[in-house]
Amino acid sequence: MTIKSIIVGMTFVFFAASSLAAEKGPSIEELMKPAPNPAWNGFALAGHSTTKLADGLYAFRNTGTRSIFMVTDDGVIATDPINAETAKIFRAEIAKVTDQPVKYVVYSHEHWDHVQGGQIFKDEGAQFIAHENCVAHFYDLPNPNIVMPDITFSDDYTLELGGRTLDLLYFGPNHGDCMVVMRPDPGDFLFVVDLVTPGGAPLGFMPDYAPHHYLRTLKEIEALDYKAIIGGHGAMLSHPSAVTERRQYLEALMAATQQAMASGGNPFELHKEIRVSEFAHLRGYESRIEDNARRMLAFYGIGW
């Protein structure tokens, strides 16, 4: 038996299949309320789950990291394998849904917490896909647990399999320089990894973010036509306003940093003064604001 929730005013259908360990937490109706939304803090960090989001589209989570997969008539498209242990669980969860082989594995970006462990898929013949800029990172910092891409691309790329498509949208440098946002057909969802963690402040010092390009990317994502975000971390689904909330946080942080620098205070102490209290509701704000401020001080102080 399948439990089906149709979200009022939206075109996609959410399923929680009884044969799978569907993700528990706030209801879809609660998750789809706009920011600020406390329901986005009600996600699990233990165990694993697989949830059917729409026809042929599934979200898979192990502990705090999430991937998606698409089932087509000609095979499966999987995304980030995360790590070797998780990839085994991921493959077993796919097998509960279909006996089709995994034909493609798509990397969202180069960071090891998302792209290790794919050998189990390679062994069954899957081809690996990533933006071409990821390859340089994989050679620069070799990791034996990362399967090198078979297919690369330089701009946007559309993967087609069994009558289904997965759009890989490249916005240039932001969080690293090979990040892609994924849009499975029919386009109601965007799978967004790391660029937005709904309801949360950015992690720490943001060492691999180019703030100005990050801000530009968020604006470009806002301009797209979609109904919901599938999060690579945090809440499984969220209203698109989660992107706007992150963009507004960055804008406020940038403005507060510039104001603090203009005051002429001790540049090594300014991070203790920079605050954006209108965003104090964000998950992790208190523990992250000083590191976030340090990042912006480096950006405006030395152009890094």
Confidence check: pLDDT of 4 > 80 = no
What is the arithmetic mean of pLDDT over 51-72?
98
State the pLDDT at residue 296: 97
State the pLDDT at residue 20: 78
pLDDT bracket for residue 21 (50, 70, 90): confident
Contacts of 236 (CB under 8 A, 6+ apart): 23, 25, 31, 43, 51, 59, 61, 66, 230
Q: Are strands 57-62 and 65-72 parallel, antiparallel or unpaired?
A: antiparallel
User: Which CATH number goes with the domain that contains 17?
Assistant: 3.60.15.10
Confidence check: pLDDT of 148 > 70 = yes
Rounded CA-CA distance 213/171 in Å is: 9
What is the arithmetic mean of pLDDT over 236-253?
98
State the pLDDT at residue 49: 98
| Residues comprising the chain, all counted | 304
Closest C-alpha to 14, from 230, 300, 296: 230
Q: Which ranges of the chain would DSSP assign to H, the alpha helix?
A: 28-31, 84-97, 112-115, 119-122, 132-140, 211-222, 241-262, 285-302
| Structure tokens that stand for 271 in this block | 């991070």
pLDDT bracket for residue 18 (50, 70, 90): very low
DSSP secondary structure letter of residue 174: B
What is the arithmetic mean of pLDDT over 33-44?
97
**pTM of this prediction?**
0.95
- What rounded mean pLDDT belongs to the chain? 94
Rounded CA-CA distance 161/138 in Å is: 27
151-206, pLDDT tens digit by residue?
A: 999 999 999 999 999 999 999 999 999 999 999 999 999 999 999 999 999 998 89
Containing domain of residue 270, as a range? 2-302
Residue type, 169: L
Q: Are 201 and 249 in contact (CB under 8 A)?
A: yes
State the pLDDT at residue 247: 98
Number of domains in the chain: 1
Higher pLDDT residue, 24 or 242? 242
Contacts of 277 (CB under 8 A, 6+ apart): none
Cα 153 to the center of its chain, rounded Å: 20
